[in-house]
Amino acid sequence: MSIRRILVISLGNPGQYENTFHSAGHNVLQAFQRLLQREQPSFSLEKWGKMQALASIGPKYSLLQSPAVMNVSGPWVAKAYKEELSTQALTPEQLGVVLVHDDLEEELGAIKVRAWKASHRGHNGIKSVNGSLQADPRGKWARVSVGIGRPDQRDKSAVSDFVLSKMPRHARSVVEEKGSSGLLSALMDLETKWGTEY
């Protein structure tokens, strides 16, 4: 069965950690919406998963930025998924789900499509989602990671300091420019693979 919509959810952190490397997924999703412009409405605050979240609901894509803290984002993602099925009157077979998140192992702005059940490689947001949302085998599922580079030091505290540091303007530009076009290309490939019926 062909899918009728794609739910794209970005992971990140709210508040003071909003524009950090760990929230690169949000930056990519915002830039992706701007890239589509006419076909995809601007983001606005809406109630999703019992929380206020930035959402852009277009004719084929539902773009949602998780408002939850990264490490406990799973319960919100699970609620948002169920809400999308209900709101759009879809069966699991008719909905594609794509999770957009940062990736320490890839160079800045690089986009990679990964299987939903691929290793989380220590990413606590993905761990939380996997623990809360059992991917319905009838649906289509994928992750899209955006590279944020990695600090020279590999110890846990150095990595934590890096991902929670503010993205400099240049890095943010690279992430948004490469990431948005990369996400568009990734979604087009997934739509071809999954089969779509818009």
**Of 22, 26, 101, 123, catalytic:** 22
Long-range contacts, stretch 185-192, CB < 8 angstroms, 24+ apart: 185/111, 186/98, 186/111, 186/113, 186/144, 187/6, 187/8, 187/61, 187/98, 187/144, 189/113, 190/6, 190/96, 190/98, 190/113, 190/140, 190/142, 191/3, 191/6, 191/96
- Is 22 in the active site? yes
Tokens of 50: 């019992």
Catalytic residue numbers read 22
